[in-house]
Every structure is written in C-alpha cells, then in structure tokens.
Amino acid sequence: MNAAYNKGALSNMDKITQTREVPVIGSYDVVVCGGGPAGWIAAVASARNGARTAMIEQFGFPGGMATAGLVLPISVFTYNNKLVCGGIPWEFVNRMEAMGGAQVEKPLGNVAHDPEVYKLTAQRMLLEAGVQLHYHATVTGCSYENGHLTHVIMDTRSGPKALETRYVIDATGDGAICAMMHVPMQEAGDQPLQPASLIFCLGGVDTDNLPVAHHNLQGVNMHHVPLQRALRELAKTEEVPQFGGPWFCHIMHDGFVLVNATRTFADMTNHLDATAAECRLREDAYVLTEYFRRLDPVFQNCYLAYTAPVCGTRETRHIRGAHILTGEEYLNRVHFEDSIARSAHPIDIHSANDSQQRCTFLEDAAYIPYRCLVVPGFDNLIVPSRCLSADQIASASIRVQAPIMCLGQAAGLAAAMCARDGISVHDVDISAMREKLISWGVDI
Ligand SMILES: Cc1cc2nc3c(=O)[nH]c(=O)nc-3n(C[C@H](O)[C@H](O)[C@H](O)COP(=O)(O)OP(=O)(O)OC[C@H]3O[C@@H](n4cnc5c(N)ncnc54)[C@H](O)[C@@H]3O)c2cc1C
C-alpha cells in the first residue's frame, strides 16, 4: 500500500504467530463482504438472479454509512429530473417512500430518509431475495491462491468461521478483502485524503424555518451560508472546531435534523487514527451544537439528540483495476462499451485541513465502466464499493450513495451471471449484462 495512504500506521513492535482451525459453516456461489449501499444492493441483485448468496456485515443491520454513519441524503438519482440511477436502488427508494420513510427532492433526486425505515426496508428486500445474512461478523481473512479466493473468514461472537465461495464481492468501503489479497492500490494523488466526519442529530430545531434541510436546487451547494459565515467570524475570537458546511438534512420527523459539519483528517483504515477521530469529533459535535444555539434562532432550543454510531470517512484506498477512471474522462462524460452505471453528483472534494470544499458541477451524468470493478489477475473478485478503480477526482463524485448502489447492483448481477456460466469475472457477457441493467431502468 502506498505510504501516503498509510499515514499514522503503528510500527510493529513484535510479532506473534497464530494458527487456528476455522470451521466452514456454509458454501455459496457469491459472498458479499459488507452490507453498505454497495453491498446490500449487490446481495439482492445476486440472489434475485439465481445465485446462492450470503452477505457478511459487522453491524446488526444493513446500510453502512447511510445508517451506521447517519449519512443523509442519498445523493443523487437524477439529472435535471431524469432518472439515471434506476433499478433496484430506485425500487428501494419507492418502497421507503410508500412507508412514509423517504422524500425524493426534485430535480436532483436527492433522497432524505428515516434511517430506521432504511434499515427495515433493506432488510426486507434482502430476506425476500433469499440472501443468507451473517450480521455481527467481521471479515478478518480469506483463503486464496493465484488471485483466486476460495474462503472468506469472519470473526463472530462464537469465534472464527469460514464461508466457502465461488465469487466474492468486496463492498467493505475500504477494500478490506482487496488489501488482504494484496490487490494493487493506486499511488497517492495530488490531494490528501478527504476528511472523516461524525454526523449528529439535533432535536428541538425549528425545522419549518430551515430551508437548507432540503436539497432541491440543481448546481447549488446546499450548505447553510449565513451559519458558515457566523462560525468563521466567531473563529476570529473564539476556538471553533474545524468544520465543513454545515449541511443539514431532515429525517422525516419534525424538529430533528442531521448535521454534517464536524471534520478531521484521519486514515480510517488505521484503528488508532479512527479512535482519535471518534474522540475528537464527539467533542466537536457538542461544541458546535452550543454555537448553533447561540448563532441562529432556528436552533435556539436545540439539543444534541445523538451522534452516529460510527464516524465515517469519504476516502481511503483506491484499487488499481482493469481501468482507472480519470477525472477527465468523467467530466467529459466519456461513454464506455462496458458502462454499467452513471453518477450525477458533482465532483465533491472536502478539504482535510480546513472548512473548504471544492465542488465541480457536472454538465450531465457521467458513466462508470465495469472494468473499474475488476482487477487483472483476480478472477473471482468484484469491487463495487467506494474504493473502486477511479482516480481521486472521479471518486469524489462516484463515492455518493446512488451511483455506489448502482455499482453494487451491476456487481451482484455480474457475479450471478458468472456463477451461472462458471466463468471468470473478466469474461462476463457485457452486452447481456448491460441489456439487463437497461431493462431494469439504468440509463447507460
Ligand atoms: C461525512 C460523510 C458525508 C457524506 N455525505 C454524503 C451525501 O451527502 N450523500 C451521499 O449520497 N453520500 C455521502 N457520503 C458518501 C457515502 O456515504 C459513502 O461513500 C457510501 O456509503 C459508500 O458505500 P459503500 O457501500 O462503498 O461503503 P460503506 O457505506 O462504508 O459500507 C461498507 C459496509 O461494510 C461493512 N464492513 C466494512 N468492513 C467490514 C469487515 N471487515 N467485515 C464486515 N463488514 C465490514 C461496514 O460496516 C459497512 O456496513 C458521505 C460520506 C461521509 C463519510
């Protein structure tokens, strides 16, 4: 792994060798590691298309950053009101909406939602599709030879267990399986990693008078400009924590908003960096709540209701796949023969060291090729997650949830098709796959 992505790593003081016998408790066509937006949609797509599918998730619920990180809204399904990220992700949004748990904000197709409705709806879709769920299980290893993986090993409450599998989808966000299998990673780009943030929920907010809690303008960054100015002014005389935005999102309940404002630099693949970030940002959430109360009457009666179960990060590893999608290709909306998803979110780069954000809005939705999800020399591994093979510029747009869900959908379909035909992930019938995705409503 590149040194710049490994900042803060512990030096190994000593080493112990452990050997352990791991019972194999299941055998599947497809094992999906990670149940975030990429993973759970991939699992549904795989199972619906005939593959015996299991999903491993360290938490007790699906959604990843959307639920464990309280990352709202789900950005963005449409461009100028035209749906580009259709299929299973959009079916999911419609189901949440029917339960009163989501609101589609037009023309962007940003989706504000209730995270509890998210968890329940996703769980129902997984179980209806026949996915075998392995919650409270952390993937800690795998067996592979010559780039071909045979078993995924997970630590569970009752010790280590293994699942035999023909294909694996790494949807851990950070590319945990890729790192274990020594998949080549990209060199660090010109910019430092984007920051980590701990999202928090405020209660007692006058939500009727907080228009920025709705994200309904194309080409506009919906942060709270007056509050940002007030915080920057205050920072001249008082100690204001590093912040971004602030951005607000409603969660379908009056008086409550989620706040995306805290930020710090951290390599979240390093557990001590992650620990430091959690500690720092919990303090900052508390302090920022105090300042919001002082600075804006909309927040005068607000209180810190809860923080997200985990601090999230926007960026860690980037794998080196069969194609590295560049910012230039992305901004020029280059269409590929193996385009399998689109993204309409701006190139959205948050500074790790201050409150700045660089947003480049797209002239139309960009295309993402299948080759960004597969790695030369690895014949049964597909990687639809945030760490896919794109440079830092293209990744800064693809990383949001709607395109990531669409990549999960394509990965699940590809894995099921490969399992049916018994072929390498590099040999999947691209035109049949694209045809199917288009029939599901993906605009590619
Ligand atoms: C602060 C912040 C703000 C953001 N703002 C937005 C926004 O406004 N709109 C938007 O759409 N997106 C936003 N994003 C981006 C988006 O949330 C993520 O990029 C997206 O969730 C990535 O999806 P993923 O499935 O690849 O990874 P994740 O969501 O990280 O899911 C990975 C899953 O894998 C599990 N996992 C990881 N390792 C293991 C393991 N070893 N064993 C078992 N399970 C494992 C995790 O628990 C998790 O459930 C934001 C992200 C952050 C951090």
pLDDT at 219 over 80: no
CA distance 177 to 175: 6
249-257 mean pLDDT? 94
Q: For residue range 189-206, what is the model confidence (pLDDT) as tens digits?
A: 778 899 999 999 999 999
pLDDT for 324: 98
Pair 167, 425: CB distance under 8 Å: yes
Pair 178, 383: CB distance under 8 Å: yes
* Residue with the larger pLDDT of the pair 91 and 80: 91
79-97 mean pLDDT? 96
Rama region for 100: left / alpha / beta (φ>0; ψ in -120 to 50; rest): left
Q: For residue range 346-379, what is the model confidence (pLDDT) as tens digits?
A: 999 998 888 888 889 999 999 999 999 999 999 9
Cα within 13 Å of Cα(372), Cβ side:
31
**Residue 375 CA, ligand 1 centroid: distance in Å:** 21
SS3 381: strand
Would the CA dihedral through 402, 404, 407, 413 be positive or negative?
negative
pLDDT at 5 over 50: no
Within 10 angstroms of residue 429's Cβ, the number of other Cβ atoms is 14
pLDDT at 425 over 90: yes
Q: For residue range 147-158, what is the model confidence (pLDDT) as tens digits?
A: 999 999 999 999
Instruction: Please state, rounded to an integer, the average pLDDT across all residues of the chain.
Output: 94
Q: Which mutation among 65, 133, 155, 388 tests ligand 1's pocket best, with the greatest number of atoms within 8 A of CB?
A: 65
**Residue 402 CA, ligand 1 centroid: distance in Å:** 12
Nearest-atom index, ligand 1, CA of 38: 25
Pair 1, 185: CB distance under 8 Å: yes
173, exposed or middle or buried, with CB in 10 Å at 0-12, 13-18, 19+? Answer: buried
CA distance 137 to 161: 9
**Residue 388 CA, ligand 1 centroid: distance in Å:** 13
Pairing of strands 53-56, 24-33: parallel
Nearest-atom index, ligand 1, CA of 177: 41
Percent of the chain with pLDDT over 70: 97
210-229 mean pLDDT? 83
pLDDT at 390 over 70: yes
- Ligand 1 pocket list (CB less than 6 A): 33-39, 56-59, 64-66, 68-69, 71, 73-75, 138-139, 171-173, 176, 197, 199, 260, 312-314, 385-386, 399-401, 404
Reported pTM: 0.95
28-40 mean pLDDT? 98
Instruction: Report the nearest-CA residue for atom 22 of ligand 1.
Output: 386
